[in-house]
Amino acid sequence: AQSVSQHNHHVILSEAASLELGCNYSYGGTVNLFWYVQYPGQHLQLLLKYFSGDPLVKGIKGFEAEFIKSKFSFNLRKPSVQWSDTAEYFCAVNPSGDDKIIFGKGTRLHILP
Amino acid sequence: DAGVTQSPTHLIKTRGQQVTLRCSPKSGHDTVSWYQQALGQGPQFIFQYYEEEERQRGNFPDRFSGHQFPNYSSELNVNALLLGDSALYLCASSLGTGYYEQYFGPGTRLTVT
């Protein structure tokens, strides 16, 4: 079955620390990849997406993610986090040609001021 | 530019009852997808509507049904409610079908007692 695994359920960092959130998916074909973010009290927003081309994609607010096809991974990174990055982050996969998006369980990120 | 709107915001129902949730897509969008997000989980795909027809369905029973209207708005109906149906129901809209970027609404919180 197609699935998405996010390795960390809860991450606590201090401001200015570097961030990497892991994401792996299980699907052998072509995929489109997403990271969504949900800030406290707000709805899901797209952080960044990968459809094709350069496997290193840049999103909003200084986030980036790297697609490594051989590892079925799409890890999210940010060199220096801010308190305002406190949120829940969801990795998601859309098998090419499919209509649904498959989400991971999410990683709750808490940044200490 | 209006984003995705959903109503009602919160709903409390009793086991065995029926419920209808509503969604208006983002201006210019013609496709609506519905997701169920249980506590502590990522959103799970229920189904997608395009051109007033259900295009694809996730692993949900027939108690979950939907409809899309000519103005692209959509309804999600759940019959014979179970306690396990308690969740946040998210509507997402997009332009066309397939992998296109989906914009999420704030959700409807359904509690079944």
Residue extents of the structural domains in chain A: 3-112
The answer to whether A105 contacts B101, with C-beta atoms less than 8 Å apart, is: no
Using CB atoms and an 8 Å cut-off, which of residues 77-96 of chain A contact chain B? 90, 92, 94, 96
The reply to whether B51 falls in a domain is yes
CB contact under 8 Å between A105 and B40, yes or no, is yes
Asked whether residue B41 is domain-assigned, the answer is yes
CATH label of the domain that carries residue B98: 2.60.40.10
Closest residue in A to B98 (Cα) is A99
Model confidence at A28, pLDDT cuts 50, 70, 90, reads: confident
Cβ–Cβ under 8 Å, residues B74 and B34: yes
Cβ contact, residue pair A101, B40, below 8 Å? no
Using the Cβ of A21 and the Cβ atoms of chain B, whether some distance falls under 8 Å is answered with no
Q: Is A32 exposed, middle or buried (0-12, 13-18, 19+ CB in 10 A)?
A: buried
- Domain membership of residue B38 (yes or no) is yes
Within 13 Å, how many C-alpha atoms sit on residue B25's CB side?
25
CA end-to-end span of chain B? 37
Task: Answer yes or no: are the C-beta atoms of A48 and A58 closer than 8 Å.
Answer: yes
Provide the pLDDT for residue B67: 97
pLDDT digits (tens, 9 = 90+) for A52-109: 899 999 999 999 999 999 999 999 999 999 999 999 999 999 988 888 899 999 999 9
| Host domain of residue B39 | 25-107
The answer to whether the CB atoms of B103 and A92 lie below 8 A apart is no
Q: Taking 90 as the threshold, does the pLDDT of residue A35 lie above it?
A: yes
User: What ranges make up the beta strands (E) of chain A?
Assistant: 3-6, 10-14, 19-21, 23-26, 31-38, 45-50, 56-58, 64-68, 73-78, 87-95, 102-103, 107-112
Instruction: Chain A: give the shortest CA distance to residue B105, in Å.
Output: 6
* Nearest chain A alpha carbon to B31: A99
Structurally, chain B folds into a number of domains equal to: 1
* Pairwise CA distance, residues B54 & B8, whole Å: 22
CATH dotted code for A3-112: 2.60.40.10
pLDDT tens readout for residues B20-62: 999 999 999 999 999 999 998 999 999 999 999 999 999 999 9
Contact partners, residue A112, CB within 8 Å, separation at least 6: A12, A13, A14, A15, A83
